[in-house]
Chain A
Amino acid sequence: MNITTLVFILLSVLAVGSAIMMITSKSPVNSVLWLIVVFFTISGHYILLNAQFLAIVNIIVYAGAIMVLFLFVVMLMNLNKETEPVKNYRLQLIGIVAGGALLLLIISAIMKIDAQQLVQMKVGDEGLIKSLGMNLFKNYVLPFEISSVLFLSAIIGAVVIGKKD
């Protein structure tokens, strides 16, 4: 077992464990913090795949902007205490069984495949900023510009929805 496999297993265990902690922790603030841990481990996976631009963007956008927004909202609402009043254990069990059945089904279907497709690890330049930028501004200029319109509408929508009437 080489070091790449070891790092992959470590990051995967950390990601899955933090995700489970995220959906099981009582306080929403703890959930937000565990989700930030998941995002950092996914950024570690991107670095392992040599997708450096996406690793940095993942940390900046998700852990830096989106999760801070979540934390602000949680603290504005003062949800730090236990705020789940009614518990329906039957529905929870049904949800866990449904999700686990989906997981088992697809994983057993995947493990039946005999062909081995390797993934390029640690090398390759298609995840670097240069090649991504060349591709983005050569072939994907129009979606890039349209996404700015999407952001403008999101800003206007957030202001219109959030303002007191």
Chain B
Amino acid sequence: MDIKAYIALSLTLFTIGIIGVLVRRNAIIIFMCVELMLNAVNLLLVGFSKMHALSPIAKASLTYASDAQIFVFFIMVVAAAEVSVGLAIIVMMYRNVHTVDVNFLNRLKN
């Protein structure tokens, strides 16, 4: 499989995430679109890791071919921590303003 197929696929998923963030108003769905973008990046990193494993540089150099997958693992760790704090913020916001519509969140301005 060509690497271009993986780039196109993860770019499509990333763009769908961007469109979701721009279009939707619900804060929870915006948050889920961020998760989708993180997953698209993870898929691309794993694809590049397997591309590196096939190249002759991988055997000669000191870097491991599994470095990118370690990076994906840390992205998952950070995403889990981010989700717990972000959902706590959304729940607190719902308790205060009784909505999750991001249009009502412009009160910080004034």
Contacts and interface: CB of A to CB of B under 8 A. Distances in A.
Interface in A130-165: 131-132, 135-136, 139-140, 143, 147, 150-151, 153-155, 157-158, 161-162
8 contacts: A19-B13, A22-B20, A22-B33, A28-B29, A50-B50, A83-B99, A98-B22, A143-B74
Given A119-B54, A132-B69, A136-B73, 17 more contacts: A19-B36, A31-B32, A53-B69, A61-B79, A77-B100, A84-B24, A103-B11, A103-B12, A110-B7, A110-B8, A117-B3, A118-B54, A124-B53, A126-B50, A126-B53, A140-B70, A155-B84
Contacts of A70: 28, 31-32, 83, 87
Contacts, number: 234
B67 A116 contact: no
A54 B92 CA distance: 33
B81 A154 contact: yes
Main DSSP-derived SS at the B contact region: helix
B15 A154 contact: no
A154 B85 contact: yes
Interface residues of A, number: 82
Kindly state the interface size class of chain B when it binds its partner. Answer: 35 or more
Interface of A: 4-5, 8, 12, 15-16, 19-20, 22-23, 28, 31-32, 35, 38-39, 42, 45-46, 49-51, 53-54, 57-58, 61-62, 65-66, 69-70, 73-74, 76-77, 79, 83-86, 91-92, 94-96, 98-100, 102-103, 106-107, 110-111, 113, 116-121, 124, 126-127, 131-132, 135-136, 139-140, 143, 147, 150-151, 153-155, 157-158, 161-162
